[in-house]
A and B are shown apart, each in its own frame.
Chain A
Amino acid sequence: MISLRSETTRNSHRWARWLFIVCFVANADEALAQEVRIGRADCSEPVHLVARQAPLSSVLKDLAESLGFELVYQSQRDLLVTRNERLSATDLVRDLAHEMNFSIEQTFDPRCLNSRRVAKVSVLPDTDDKARSTSALRPAWQTPEMDRIARQQMSDYLRSHGMEDQSIEDIAVR
């Protein structure tokens, strides 16, 4: 694995612009290739990520090694990621992890004017075993109980703000 963090010269930055890190992991069960490619650009330029059916932990690990940040991955879940996009490093990490309970720490990047780099990404433990076990079948929030709560909240809101109680279906934009 090549660490781009160690690049300090203008030449090496230029060289890194088109560097891609490629790793293929055979998946015998599904006969699918898991692929992660990371194109790192200078300073505030976007990072190009290409991933196909790759575990989130692997993608973040490769990003961490490429971009030089610390990764703490404590979730029991490991979603499969398929992406082909160019985003800033921060936005890319947020986009990848936004279904998880995560935090990002950033710090100034002394190599670049007016720029920051991601210093640490923590993907925290999942919040509920039950939610975890059902997530593969149906999102945990999509339940009759949540529908009841959604309707109760609407009713609370309307009545508390001087309006007549109405059903969601009556007031939703069609």
Chain B
Amino acid sequence: MGAGDKAKPGGDPIPFAVPKATCGPNDKPEAALQGQVPATLRASGFKGFNCNLELIGQYRGEGANWQTTQFTDKAGHRCAYHGTASPTRSGPGRQQLGSRVIDITEPTSPTPTAYLTTTSMLDPWESLKVNERRQLLAADNGQNGAGGPEVDIYDISDDCRYPQLLASLPVGTGTDGGGVVTPIIGHEGAWAPDGLTYYGGGRVVPNNYYAVDVADPTKPKLMATWNVPRVATGGRTHGLSVSDDGTRGYFVSIGSINPTTLTDPNVPPNNGLVIYDLSDFQNRAANPQPKVIGEVYWKDGATAQHTIPVKINGKPYVIFVDEGGSGGTTSAAQLQAACNAGMIPFPLARIIDISDETKPTVVSKVALEVHDPANCSKVLPDLTGLSIFTYGSHYCSVDDKKHATTLACGYFNSGIRVFDIRDPLRPKEIAYYNPAGTTTPSAGSNHTLGNNWVAGGPDWCSAQVHLDKKSGTLWTTCQDNGLLMLKFTNGVWPLPGSNTPAGQQN
């Protein structure tokens, strides 16, 4: 229990929503519920909200899509990387396809330096990740659901502004030398921290996770594929993370309960966390296979997105973020079912205690007021005509996985939000920035998916947030506004004990 629940057994009641940030005198705070962009503001053209965060630099370019990653090279160049819509899913007028490389060394003047246009980089979807130790950038071929078996790897060690291609090759097709023939399908992906293995989560067919040996980054080869434990009841693959020693995997089981069975006790949940022992892969055992150590599932969230293993005050947790609310990804039927059942209608982040990794336990939910089912009647009118994501979460990051104090998340319609998680049972909001809507969609954005882009409506902020203690800033992308560099104000961050060591944010 914790924030996101009505009460803590045997303790003080904990409000459903996390306490709101206290804004400064020059801020433009939210006008209604926490996280809400009311229908009236959408209709008149949403001008944005900010609280303890101010914009200091922006590069809109052709917009962005789902995710970001970053690296600082030995010369001190700080580089931002983000994907854009695939060639076949872009808006009109695309000038330059591919993943963006943006020099953010000077936070106030983000400057594009390169466009990566190899197969996977045309739309890495949710797989674009940097490995800090080996100074590599990798992605699989997502193409927003229409991709194939390629893995692309770049060397970013010399000058992160100009990545050098090492491989853009099919994996699992029988030609990679790994001996395992199951063509992978790009979607999500993440590195083992030692940079020797790249794990991925594919699509419904073939519906598997996979491990790719990238010890030789010029020759990625498939080691194994596997399904999640509850595949028979609809469990699927998506995002994942790996412990620092490479032996534990925190993989999501992406579940979508039909809204009509949301409250049916005979239909078990299939959305949740699976902790795997990955020692076989880490140790390069023959015929490697993952072993399930622990699992936890829930029905008040769906379409599980990703995980971050962290320690808070020395205790191990997993930050877990859903992409769908109770009963599935946002839809009219799902929202109605969730609201009728008094369950959380939109996805959010939750904090899971993994002290006993055989029994992972959810201890708190990072809920906003818009997530409270008691507020359904106030927020549903905002969403007329929209069909997906809306007030939901997508990606989160922390300041330091080894000593986490701060959680920063992108919420599609609710903007960038930052939380103090030093007490993991009682997260507190400390800042937010929800950018103004745009009057045209960006050509490289995916916000037009399902005709969900509306003139003047709030943007989709769906990417990882990158905190930087030294400059007191964060950067991220929102799909139509592009790259945003924000500075904390009013002394709210860094928190005591906050640090942002390289490669320890997500």
Contact = CB atoms under 8 A, between A and B. Distances in A.
A103 interface: yes
A60 to B, nearest CB: 15
Interface of B: 26, 28, 47-48, 54-62, 88-95, 108-110, 144-146, 187, 203-204, 234, 236, 238, 254-256, 303, 323-324, 328-329, 331-333, 335, 380, 383-388, 436, 438-441, 443, 446, 448-453, 455, 481, 487, 489
Contacts of A45: 26
Top 10 A-B pairs, shortest CB-CB distance: A156-B145, A128-B93, A171-B331, A154-B450, A153-B449, A160-B145, A162-B236, A172-B387, A105-B109, A106-B108
A170 B332 CA distance: 8
Given A156-B145, A162-B254, A140 B438 contact: no
Contact of A151 (B236, B384, B450, B487): B450
B93 A172 contact: no
Contact of B56 (A116, A147, A149): A116
A105 B93 contact: no
Interface stretch (A9-17, A25-33, A90-98): A90-98
Contacts of B110: 103
29 contacts: A91-B55, A94-B55, A98-B60, A99-B438, A105-B109, A116-B56, A128-B92, A130-B92, A131-B93, A139-B440, A141-B440, A141-B441, A150-B448, A150-B450, A151-B450, A153-B144, A153-B449, A154-B449, A157-B329, A161-B238, A168-B387, A168-B451, A170-B331, A171-B332, A171-B387, A173-B331, A173-B335, A173-B380, A174-B384
Contacts of A136: none
Interface in A91-144: 91, 94-95, 98-99, 101-107, 114, 116, 119-120, 127-128, 130-131, 139-141, 143
B161 to A, nearest CB: 17
A44 interface: yes
A66 to B, nearest CB: 19
Nearest to B56: A106
A162 B489 CA distance: 42
A147 to B, nearest CB: 7
A75 interface: no
B450 A101 contact: no
B203 A131 contact: no
Contacts of A153: 89, 144-145, 446, 448-450
Contact of B145 (A88, A120, A159): A159
A98 B384 CA distance: 24
A131 B455 CA distance: 17
Contacts of A158: 329
A94 B481 CA distance: 10
Contacts of A104: 55, 57-58
Given A141-B440, A161-B236, 7 more contacts: A44-B26, A91-B55, A99-B438, A127-B93, A154-B450, A162-B236, A168-B450
Contacts of A102: 60
A131 B54 CA distance: 32
Nearest to B236: A162
A2 interface: no
A146 interface: yes
Interface of A: 44-45, 87-88, 90-91, 94-95, 98-99, 101-107, 114, 116, 119-120, 127-128, 130-131, 139-141, 143, 145-147, 149-154, 156-163, 166, 168, 170-174
A103 B256 contact: no
A146 B441 CA distance: 11
A98 B438 contact: yes
Contact of A103 (B59, B144, B387, B436): B59
A114 B489 contact: yes
Given A146-B92, A161-B254, A119 B440 contact: no
Contacts of A150: 448-452
Contacts of A173: 331-332, 335, 380, 383-387
A154 B60 CA distance: 24
A152 B109 CA distance: 36
Nearest to B331: A171
Nearest to B324: A161
Given A99-B440, A141-B440, A153-B89, A172 B60 contact: no
A90 B322 CA distance: 33
Given A128-B95, A147-B451, A163-B329, A157 B388 contact: yes
A160 B238 CA distance: 10
A140 B56 contact: no
Nearest to A90: B55
B93 A98 contact: no
A134 B451 CA distance: 20
Contacts of B60: 98, 101-103
A139 B55 CA distance: 28
Contact of B89 (A44, A98, A103, A149): A149
A114 to B, nearest CB: 7
Contacts of B56: 90, 106, 116
Contact of A157 (B90, B144, B380): B144
A156 B303 CA distance: 14
A162 B110 CA distance: 37
Nearest to A152: B89
